[in-house]
Chains A and B, each alone.
Chain A
């Protein structure tokens, strides 16, 4: 393994999948984070208000904006902030079949607590599973079909309903690696989606050889044509470019609206992607396999930058979580892969990580400055629930 440059301040190394640059040994993510301390957030928020006012004038819809949601803690923060700004949003989601009972609770509660209109798209399950299978086989990625849908379906809805503004929460590429300055105010675009959400992989990479799917059935997996978006005047913005973003603090506050955090063994963060059957399980293992680190590293980097943990303490916690085990049988059962198929996959793709596969009930304490943000968390009672409202099928 070559010696990779590691940031003097955080835990990221130069091979970060989003890309990372360094100045005087400090990474672009940290430099961009510290930029937050010198920005005039009041005037930035005013620019957001002016933009919203401008887009509102274009609106031919009852709704002022569309908010893509998954029922995450971040969604609660975004929705609440926009309601405080007197907006009328339509919430749009995609059923990726990965919700557990906590995920469905958080999604339904988001809609009912704030009493908002919503749309959820449930894709054909057979097709969806075929895409997950292909994505796993070709790219060791089980989230790609979900990302494809979640980053395109809301755009289709906005165009169809003539809603001129989509408001997303965090722009991960700024918050994690500082790809852009907050002042650049980067917006939603086909390129941004392909580069950061899909790692260069569009739906066409999941069809063809070995995949039995017809492209005509996959419209909502494809981003609308650029010309159509340009003609409509639709824009998509990221709220994290306009407000001083602090996920742990924001997410912890979502519990007052009825959001349920979820216990997991792969990170101290009980808020981000709570309600997923795979995020801290098989997906996290694949992240380790491909990228060499787990989600807990992203969380620790974030908390180093927010000053809640020292780098030396973060390294110790990172080492502990690196060895935490994950259960993967549920995922393969959902994918209708039998034990022999699962074993084949482990033998051929995860042979160096077999020690991390299995049941694990260990969790680790972070540090006091983080722990005070961690409220009561719940254990999932059922995973991979097809659809959940009051009755789980």
Chain B
């Protein structure tokens, strides 16, 4: 199981996010990414939290990401909603591309993902399903509509067919250590070895996932930078690698 880190990046600045409803300032992208590289995290997700249709900072953010120079594999997503934007990704030092709300339905959305698959290869296409539970009912976040909604089994199957790996992101546990219950794993029809779990992650949970599940990866959402030895100590504790 790989150990990754999620970084929220928007308007040339990085943020911490708590419970999907409160953000704190974090810092400059370049310094954060180079520190994560040094801390030997297995991969880094840079995600732009674009909610709704307004996204004025795309060009500015793409320019900043294009200046990164690191050895850790980068996964990027957030705001990729047109073929023009897909073209912009060519200049980025990224290995994989992430889609979220684009995959929820229209023919245009699916065609965009198919185009990305042609350009980057299927192994590089990752889907993201931010979710929350309400009275045991499961809801997924639709970024463009900026709301949570339900998905049918058929829609989830389509999602499964489009992506090489899928991130299941627990919105309500975000930023709170070890709060993710992993209940989601029983509620989605995906094979575990293509799943990445994030949101509410802590070292105990990582150890549990490494022994009881067969996940592709787990991403720590906020706390990777909170201490110098975090990644190494988690890898030791959870017996990763």
Contact = CB atoms under 8 A, between A and B. Distances in A.
Interface in A1-46: 18-21, 23, 28, 31-32
With most chain A CB atoms within 10 A of its CB, the pick from B21, B26, B32, B227 is: B227
Contact of A181 (B18, B21, B31): B18
For the residues of B in contact with A, the DSSP-based class is mixed
A186 interface: yes
Interface stretch (B89-97, B166-174, B218-226): B218-226
Given A187-B226, A192-B225, A200-B31, A19 B26 contact: yes
Contact of A230 (B18, B31, B226, B229): B229
B22 A186 contact: no
Contacts of B228: 187-190, 226, 229-230, 235
A352 interface: no
Nearest to B36: A191
Interface in B188-241: 222-223, 225-229, 232
A31 B35 CA distance: 27
B24 interface: yes
A32 B13 CA distance: 20
Contacts of B38: 190, 226
A195 interface: yes
Interface in B126-176: none
A184 interface: yes
Contacts of A192: 225
Nearest to B14: A19
Contacts of B30: 200
Contact of A191 (B13, B24, B31, B229): B31
A72 B94 CA distance: 46
Given A184-B223, A195-B31, A230-B232, A28 B39 contact: no
Contacts of A230: 228-229, 232
Contact of B226 (A21, A32, A184): A184
B24 A178 contact: yes
Interface string B31-67: 1100100110000000000000000000000000000
Interface size class of A (residues with CB under 8 A): 20 to 34
Contacts of A180: 16, 24, 226
Contacts of B227: 186-189, 235
A182 interface: no
A331 B39 CA distance: 40
Interface residues of B, number: 26
Contacts of B31: 191, 194-195, 200
Given A194-B31, A235-B228, A226 B39 contact: yes
Contacts of B22: 21, 23, 31
A177 interface: yes
B15 interface: yes
Contact of B225 (A19, A181, A191): A191
B24 A179 contact: yes
A186 B224 CA distance: 10
Interface in A175-216: 177-181, 184-192, 194-195, 200
Contacts of A181: 18, 24
Nearest to B34: A191
A28 B38 CA distance: 29
B86 to A, nearest CB: 30
A191 B32 contact: yes
B173 to A, nearest CB: 14
Contacts of A186: 226-227
B28 A185 contact: no
A21 B18 contact: no
A20 B27 CA distance: 10
Given A186-B227, A189-B225, A229-B228, A21 B23 contact: yes
B35 A191 contact: yes
Nearest to A14: B25
Contact of A19 (B27, B39, B223): B27
Given A23-B22, A28-B25, A177-B25, A190 B35 contact: yes
12 contacts: A19-B27, A21-B23, A31-B22, A180-B226, A181-B18, A184-B223, A189-B228, A190-B38, A191-B31, A191-B32, A200-B30, A226-B228
Interface of A: 18-21, 23, 28, 31-32, 177-181, 184-192, 194-195, 200, 226, 229-230, 235
Given A177-B25, A190-B38, 18 more contacts: A18-B25, A21-B23, A21-B24, A23-B22, A32-B24, A179-B24, A180-B226, A184-B223, A187-B226, A187-B227, A188-B228, A189-B35, A190-B35, A194-B31, A195-B27, A195-B28, A200-B31, A226-B39
Ranked 5 nearest A-B pairs via Cβ = A19-B25, A191-B35, A187-B227, A189-B228, A195-B27
